[in-house]
Amino acid sequence: MTAIQAPAAHAGGESLIAYLTAWAASAPDAAERAAVAKCVGVLAEAGAAIAEAILRGPLQGSLGAEIGVANADGDKQRALDVLADQKIVTALKSADVAYYASEEEEAILTLNAGGALAVAVDPLDGSSNIDANISVGTIFSVFPASAGGATESFFRPGREQLAGGYIVYGPHVALVFTLGAGVAHFVLDPADKVFKLVADGVKIAPSTREYAINASNYRHWIPPIRTFVDDCVAGAQGPHGKDFNMRWVASLVAETHRIFVRGGVFLYPADERKGYEQGRLRLLYEANPIAFVVEQAGGGAIDGFNRILDKQASTLHQRTPLIFGSAEKVNRINSYYTDVHFERTPSPLFGQRGLFHA
């Protein structure tokens, strides 16, 4: 299966709860699996509630309105950010979750002392797009809780996640997640408010003719990124030998879901602007879960040089560059960073450009 599909066998398919229950009962580590299954289930319930709020749109006021305060990461909070965070916290209190980390919280919260899990969430990714009726989403990451406490539960390599994924609130509500052995795709049925299986074992197309990047930042990019994009823009006459399409939604979840549907590569690199030197997306609750689900679908996820899942957060809101998607293209972009053969002399498309070195 090369992309998200809806095979006839899955039409009106298995419910999320049935799927999670069967998975939880299928291995010796039943207690941990039961905790993870319950956690993903309540996150989906919170997602359904958030989707209901989004569906009403401006009938309930401007969900995208800034509420006058910045979140812990310095970004202005919007009404829907706070609503989504509250719904997720409430849902997770009913699961076996010890610790909760969120973009919207100043510090790690303790929900159930002694709980088995630690959950990191971006409650409402892309919230600046909500009033424009553009897809937004929720991103989540599940780790085992550490006996060493809250920080040790989260400040560990991303490869130690137990589950990760996202919910995208678009023309339909989709839940895409991994439990560590492949990727499942569910859709919320509006008739009965139940998430139902569409496809299991989802794979990302290994190659692509699409890339997603905010091209308005071209002048700030470091040479490897600028060179890669120049080569894509050169099309069939360039080093790639084929024409490319560029996409940019400015919603990480929407970008991710498009890549799952039809392949592609997403780039949010570090650049030369103040505050962007270490990238802009958050490692713990954005890059980690996206990288986990992407790798489980056969794709790749790097910061340019390094695999995202090998990185270890040292602060709650630590930022990182993020490049992910079709494996062939991610590997190629890595070569632009590390292989001197990918250096270029002045660009014929954009004028003089300096060289870069490994």
Measure the CA–CA gap between 141 and 121, rounded to whole angstroms: 6
* CA–CA distance, 45 with 62 (Å, rounded to integer): 23
- Beginning with the edge strand found earlier in the chain, give each strand of the sheet holding 322-325 in spatial order: 245-247, 210-212, 265-268, 322-325, 300-302
**Tell me, what DSSP letter sits at residue 340?**
G
Instruction: Please tell me whether residue 219 adopts helix, strand or coil conformation.
Output: helix
Encode burial over 17-49: b for 16+ CB neighbours within 10 A, e otherwise: bebbbebbeeeeeeebbbbbbbbbbbbbbbbbb
Asked whether residue 125 is marked as a ligand-binding residue, the answer is yes
Count of helices and strands (H, E) across the chain = 8, 17
197 labeled binding residue: no
- Is 251 labelled a binding residue? no
Q: CA-CA distance, 196 to 171, in Å (whole number)?
A: 16
Residue 40, helix vs strand vs coil: helix
123: which 2 tokens? 């409650």
* Cβ neighbour number for residue 310 with a 10 Å cutoff: 12
DSSP state, residue 68: E
Q: Was 303 annotated as part of a binding site?
A: no
Locate the DSSP E strands across the chain.
66-70, 76-78, 97-102, 109-110, 117-125, 136-144, 163-169, 173-178, 183-189, 194-200, 210-212, 245-247, 265-268, 281-282, 300-302, 319-320, 322-325
**Kind of pairing, strands 210-212 and 265-268?**
parallel
Question: Which residues, including other chains, have CB under 8 Å from residue 41's CB and lie 6 or more apart?
Answer: 16, 17, 20, 95
Is 339 a known ligand-binding residue? no
| 124 marked among binding-site residues | yes
Query: Could you give the CA distance from residue 40 to residue 289 in angstroms, rounded to a whole number?
Result: 13
* 343 among annotated binding-site residues: no
Which residues is 211 bridged to in the sheet? 246, 265
The annotation status of 105 as a binding-site residue, yes or no, is: no
Q: Is 127 annotated as a binding residue?
A: yes
Q: Report the binding-site residues for Mg(2+).
A: 103, 122, 124-125, 286
Known binding positions: 103, 122, 124-128, 214, 286
Known binding positions for substrate = 125-128, 214
